[in-house]
């Protein structure tokens, strides 16, 4: 699969200095964790689930989570399990009927968010051969206490199906949010996750559940970084679990809840000038009216705070998050200069002459940037994020 694969050859050539590269299920965890990009969540009891997954894949979605937890009412869980088994079975039959490897391009990376550990081996058993289209499991409300049963169940499921399943634990519990237990809980989580490092694809943040612990819900005027009790936790999660010294994990950005015409009190968060310069004033108006300016700002804040990718609950968010993940030409060449030097340290001007590149402090940033460039591409000189947004949202 490849990000922006739906672009025409002419559009891709105009937008990208280096095109996004293909990646697959065997690309390795470091690359796949970045390639997740915007991960679209769907309720497990959604009608026509298989058709919807195929439709979103054709539209450019490369990672999907089918949810059995909060997105499904308690009295609908059994029906949702049956629905998921049927949908993945349908996707598997379609792949094999067209003489395609079930793990070949055509399907996004597929995960199931379970409620409790016993569902993992149960679903694997019920899927049978269709487990070939399942890439992993999202583990909700993951704590040092609940984590071991989840990972043990995943061990059992892997033995039964004979293939590796990725784990994506979700940090969203009081044990990690409350100040009196946070440091101890994060240290225990790190130790637990390191024991299963080979299967942990990414650590996800459940901002909605975290806010719920204090009866909070942010409006479209505010990002999660304005909710200080959660923003403090994000900083600590990155501090403990997101280090760039080889011990860290990819930590993904939390969900943005708004996709319609939300009432706004404060000024929009998008400047007019970049859109006017690219003759896209109408696009700016559309983004502001649907509160997407808040999403754009939050994605930028995610990256500034060490997060990559984002949980998405609406298809319209996917193109936004992935467009904002493209590496600019200036970033790319700065990263090449820093990563390519054989000097043990030192400083140099960026190619544009507008910022400083220090070899040693910026080395980890350069490696992460080059990895992101592989899967999301490098924009051509003169191509702005406005151009990428306009092209992505027009398809």
Closest CA to 218 of 274, 275, 301, 98: 301
Q: How many structural domains comprise the chain? A: 1
Write out the residue range of the structural domain in which residue 52 sits. 22-272+282-325
How much is the pTM?
A: 0.93
> How confident is the model over 190-219, as a mean pLDDT?
96
212 close to 176: Cβ distance less than 8 angstroms: no
Strands of the chain (E only): list them: 16-18, 38-43, 63-67, 109-113, 136-139, 166-171, 204-205, 310-312, 347-349, 356-358, 378-379
Residue 98 pLDDT more than 70?
Answer: no
Residue 211 pLDDT more than 50?
Answer: yes
Q: Is residue 364 part of a domain?
A: no
The number of beta carbons lying within 10 Å of the beta carbon of residue 372 is 25
> How confident is the model over 152-161, as a mean pLDDT?
97
> How confident is the model over 86-99, as a mean pLDDT?
88
Q: What is the pLDDT of residue 395?
A: 60
- Structure confidence at residue 392 as a pLDDT band (50, 70, 90): confident
Can you tell me the distance from the alpha carbon of 283 to that of 389, in angstroms, rounded to the nearest whole number?
A: 9
Q: What is the pLDDT of residue 201?
A: 98
Q: Is residue 69 part of a domain?
A: yes
CATH number for the domain harbouring residue 131: 3.20.20.60
Q: What is the pLDDT of residue 87?
A: 98
Q: Is residue 360 part of a domain?
A: no
Q: How many CA atoms lie within 13 A of 1 on its CB side?
A: 27
7-11, 15-19, 100-104, 145-149: which range is least confident on average? 100-104
Residue-wise pLDDT for 31-61, tens only, equals: 999 999 999 999 999 999 999 999 999 989 9
73-77, 296-300, 347-351: which range is least confident on average? 347-351
Can you tell me the distance from the alpha carbon of 274 to that of 280, in angstroms, rounded to the nearest whole number?
A: 8
- Structure confidence at residue 259 as a pLDDT band (50, 70, 90): confident
Chain length of the chain? 395
Radius of gyration of the chain (CA): 21
Q: Is residue 150 part of a domain?
A: yes
Closest CA to 302 of 257, 256, 333: 256
Residue 308 pLDDT more than 80?
Answer: yes
> How confident is the model over 68-82, as a mean pLDDT?
97
Q: What is the pLDDT of residue 99?
A: 60
- Structure confidence at residue 252 as a pLDDT band (50, 70, 90): very high
Q: What is the pLDDT of residue 261?
A: 77
Angstrom distances, CA of residue 98 to CA of 86, 91, 127, 195 = 18, 11, 20, 40
Q: Is residue 38 part of a domain?
A: yes
Q: Angle formed by the axes of helices 281-289 and 292-304, to 10°?
A: 90
- Kindly state the percentage of the chain with pLDDT values over 70: 97
Can you tell me the distance from the alpha carbon of 78 to that of 56, in angstroms, rounded to the nearest whole number?
A: 25
Q: What is the pLDDT of residue 103?
A: 47
**Please, which residues have CB within 8 angstroms of residue 119's CB and are 6 or more apart in sequence?**
68, 81
Closest CA to 176 of 137, 215, 216, 145: 145
Mean pLDDT of the chain: 93
> How confident is the model over 139-152, as a mean pLDDT?
97
Q: Is residue 48 part of a domain?
A: yes
Q: Is residue 390 part of a domain?
A: no
* Alpha helices, H only, the chain: 9-15, 29-35, 49-58, 77-97, 119-127, 144-161, 174-177, 179-195, 207-212, 228-241, 273-277, 281-289, 292-304, 315-323, 329-340, 363-376, 385-393
Closest CA to 379 of 387, 369, 368, 370: 387
Angstrom distances, CA of residue 299 to CA of 30, 237, 254 = 20, 17, 9
Residue 375 pLDDT more than 90?
Answer: yes
Q: Is residue 197 part of a domain?
A: yes
DSSP state for residue 350 in the 8-state scheme: -
3-state secondary structure of 232: helix
């Amino acid at each position: 699969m490849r990000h922006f694969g739906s672009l025409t050859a002419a559009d891709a050539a105009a937008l990208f200095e280096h095109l996004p590269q293909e990646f697959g299920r065997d690309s390795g965890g470091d690359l796949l964790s970045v390639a997740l990009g915007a991960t679209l969540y769907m309720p497990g009891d959604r009608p026509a689930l298989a058709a919807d997954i195929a439709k979103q894949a054709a539209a450019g979605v490369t990672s999907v989570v089918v949810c059995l937890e909060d997105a499904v009412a308690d009295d609908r869980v059994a029906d949702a399990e049956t629905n998921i088994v049927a949908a993945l079975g349908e996707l598997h039959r379609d792949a094999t009927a067209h003489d395609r490897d079930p793990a070949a391009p055509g399907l996004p990376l597929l995960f199931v968010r379970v409620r409790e550990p016993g569902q993992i081996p149960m679903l694997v058993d019920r899927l049978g051969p269709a487990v070939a289209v399942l890439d992993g499991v999202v583990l909700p409300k993951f704590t040092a206490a609940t984590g071991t049963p989840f990972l043990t169940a995943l061990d059992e499921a892997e033995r039964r199906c004979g293939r590796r399943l990725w784990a994506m634990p979700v940090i969203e519990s009081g044990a990690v949010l409350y100040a009196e237990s946070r440091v101890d809980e994060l240290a225990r989580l790190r130790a637990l996750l390191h024991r299963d490092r080979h299967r942990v694809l990414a650590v996800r943040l459940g901002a909605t559940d975290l806010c719920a612990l204090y009866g909070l819900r942010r409006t479209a005027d505010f990002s999660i970084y304005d909710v200080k009790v959660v923003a403090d936790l994000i900083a600590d999660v990155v501090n403990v679990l997101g280090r760039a010294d080889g011990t860290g994990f990819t930590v993904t950005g939390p969900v943005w809840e708004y996709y319609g015409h939300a009432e706004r009190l404060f000024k929009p968060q998008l400047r007019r000038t970049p859109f006017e310069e690219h003759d896209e004033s109408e696009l700016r108006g559309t983004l502001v009216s649907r509160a997407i300016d808040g999403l754009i700002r939050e994605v930028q804040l995610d990256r500034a705070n060490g997060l990559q990718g984002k949980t998405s609950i609406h298809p319209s968010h996917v193109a936004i998050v992935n467009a904002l993940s493209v590496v600019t030409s200036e970033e790319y060449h700065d990263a090449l200069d820093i990563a390519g030097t054989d000097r043990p340290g030192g400083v140099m001007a960026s190619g544009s002459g507008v910022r400083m590149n220090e070899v040693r402090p910026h080395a980890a940033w350069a490696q992460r940037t080059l990895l992101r460039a592989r899967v999301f591409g490098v924009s051509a000189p003169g191509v702005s994020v406005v151009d990428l947004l306009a092209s992505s949202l027009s398809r």
